Amino acid sequence: MALLIPTSLASAQEAAPGVTTTAIRAALVGNWTGKLEYRDYQADRWFGLPVTVSVEMMRDGLTLIRHADFDDGPKTGIVTITTIALFDPKTNREQSASFRKGRETELTTTTLRLTRAAALDRWTLEETQDGQDDDRPARIRETTTRDGATMVTLKEVDFLDDSGEAWLTRNRTTLTRQ
């Protein structure tokens, strides 16, 4: 979010010169504002919250620090999530640690797959991992699509404790570069 273009991209379409996962991740640096929307499974409705995000790239060119802030109402107040993520271009995997007040540190390893690479500001990146959602084991897929100054991330889950494959939309974040 590599110096290597995943083979899945090469079979679907050619990447524009210089559009790699490493370069895309570097192009995220800056400030973003928008909306975090999540689906409440019990109520089966969408709820939206204003969100601000800032992204920094460390000098190694592979480590990102992301700060996200949103107001979760009068009871909870401002929620800050800080994530440090390290990308390995040889394996297309990213390891991250996320920190949020009142919660255990979340450690994840995701596999990144660049599925569209038209330009540094026009691409689609898919991240997959096995983890937990709604207190259930799940395969988690986050698809981020950037078109110019707008970036949308859609989180979908496939619960592993039921039969078959059924992807449910869990949340989405729509951000605009400031």
Residue 133 lies in a domain: yes
Predicted TM-score (pTM) of the model is 0.87
- pLDDT (tens digit per residue) in 45-87: 888 899 999 999 999 999 999 999 998 888 889 999 999 999 9
Residue 119 lies in a domain: yes
Q: Bridge partners of 137? A: 132
Instruction: Report the domain count for the chain.
Output: 1
Residue 60 lies in a domain: yes
Give me the domain span that covers residue 30.
7-177
Residue 2 lies in a domain: no
The CATH number linked to 18 is 2.40.128.20
The C-alpha atoms of residue 114 and residue 143 are separated, in whole angstroms, by 10
Residue 59 lies in a domain: yes
The C-alpha atoms of residue 156 and residue 171 are separated, in whole angstroms, by 7
- Within 10 angstroms of residue 36's Cβ, the number of other Cβ atoms is 20
Question: Minimal CA–CA distance to 1: which of 153, 103, 150?
Answer: 153
* Model pLDDT, residue 7: 42
Q: Flag whether pLDDT at 92 surpasses 90.
A: yes
